[in-house]
């Protein structure tokens, strides 16, 4: 395998994994606070539409990314208002959020269908980016990629090393105790939900600004749902999200390369590989010694303060 082909294959794996990493790490924080937001797909597609609209209107990728983030947060705020404010069932509200986001993004993005803009900039460090095999891969990615990995590192540190992170986990594990300790359960959950929305919005913006630089309704094509599955796959641990996203993105992309290289394997079987890998990983994870320790204990439960 030549240096160029090697890098190209691995870079497509990274581009396929990045939106999954972004959306999953946000949902992970939301879920660690005890909120199950099934509306990732809806927040993501709003981020994709508004990210493109913002970038196209302003001519700036950064402003586009910001618009994507804000759109995701607005959707998350709505979800938070319903589920944390009014204690509505989270599953139902999350599904409604996805349907709402899909429809609204189609409506708001209608004027931007069929337009295109240039792909967002890629990092270039003279010398380093030109190294064989790894130069482009490590030093020449879209800026979003570095943001995604930075976010994972930040979240990992925040959850395990910071005091607020500890409080957030306490909220997700036992909201009554957290409340008794004087922590504001609702405030914590609302902020965690907003963070999840911001990340999903950014993941959507990545699709329209870097992955395929145009907007089309329904273009997230189920990535929000995969991001949700990845959080479970990662057993709510930040770095495993990266592992899962690379595995999933990798299997999807590698099967396309395997077909192009004519290894003679049937496409349908190859397409199923990422899903098979997910099932195998879930079985392995759940057969471990601490199988029930992974999920936040109060996940999906509405909190109503005792009076």
**Contact footprint for other proteins (CB under 8 A):** 5, 8-9, 12, 15-16, 19, 106, 110, 113-116, 119, 207, 211-214, 216-219, 221-223, 252-253, 256-257, 259-262, 264, 266-268, 271
C-alpha to C-alpha distance for 250 and 20, rounded to whole angstroms: 12
Give me the least distance between CB of 25 and other proteins, in Å please: 19
User: Cβ of residue 251: shortest distance to other proteins, in angstroms?
Assistant: 12
Burial class (CB in 10 A: 0-12, 13-18, 19+), 33: buried
Task: Identify which of residues 262 and 289 has a Cβ nearer to other proteins in the complex.
Answer: 262
19: nearest Cα among 219, 192, 186: 219
DSSP state of 86: S
CB of 292 to other proteins, least distance (A): 35
Computed over its alpha carbons, how large is the radius of gyration of the chain? 20
Toward other proteins, which CB reaches closer, 52 or 190? 52
Which of 5/293 has CB closer to other proteins?
A: 5
Nearest to 209, CA basis, from 112, 138, 114, 142: 142
Cβ closer to other proteins: 12 or 301? Answer: 12
- Provide the minimum distance between the beta carbon of 48 and other proteins in the complex, in angstroms, as a whole number: 10
Q: How far is the CB of 106 from other proteins (least distance, A)?
A: 6
Q: Which is nearer to other proteins, 4 or 130 (CB)?
A: 4
Neighbours of 162 (CB within 10 A): 11
Structure token pair of residue 83: 């589920």
């Amino acid at each position: 395998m030549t240096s160029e082909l090697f890098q190209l294959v691995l870079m497509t794996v990274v581009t396929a994994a990045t939106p999954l990493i972004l959306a999953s790490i946000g949902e992970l924080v939301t879920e660690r606070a005890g909120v199950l937001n099934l509306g990732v797909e809806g927040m993501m597609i709003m981020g994709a539409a508004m990210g493109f609209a913002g970038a196209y209107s302003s001519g700036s990728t950064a402003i586009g990314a910001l618009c994507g983030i804000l759109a995701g947060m607005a959707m998350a705020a709505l979800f938070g208002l319903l589920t944390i404010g009014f204690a509505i069932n989270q599953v139902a509200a999350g599904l409604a959020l996805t349907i709402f986001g899909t429809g609204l993004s189609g409506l708001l993005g209608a004027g931007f269908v069929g337009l295109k803009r240039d792909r967002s900039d890629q990092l270039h460090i003279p010398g380093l980016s030109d190294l064989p095999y790894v130069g482009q891969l490590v030093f020449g990615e879209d800026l979003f990629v570095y943001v995604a990995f930075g976010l994972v590192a930040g979240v990992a540190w925040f959850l395990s090393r910071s005091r607020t992170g500890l409080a957030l986990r306490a909220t997700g594990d036992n909201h009554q105790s957290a409340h008794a300790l004087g922590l504001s359960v609702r405030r914590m959950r609302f902020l965690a939900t907003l963070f999840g929305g911001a990340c999903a919005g950014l993941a959507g913006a990545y699709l329209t600004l870097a992955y395929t630089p145009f907007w089309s309704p329904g273009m997230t094509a189920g990535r929000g749902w995969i991001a949700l599955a990845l959080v479970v796959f990662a057993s709510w641990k930040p770095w495993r999200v990266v592992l899962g996203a690379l595995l999933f993105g990798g299997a999807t992309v590698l099967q396309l390369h395997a077909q192009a290289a004519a290894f003679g394997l049937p496409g349908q079987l190859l397409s199923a590989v990422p899903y098979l890998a997910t099932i195998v990983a879930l079985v392995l994870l759940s057969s471990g010694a601490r199988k029930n320790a992974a999920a936040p204990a109060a996940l999906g439960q509405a909190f109503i303060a005792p009076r």
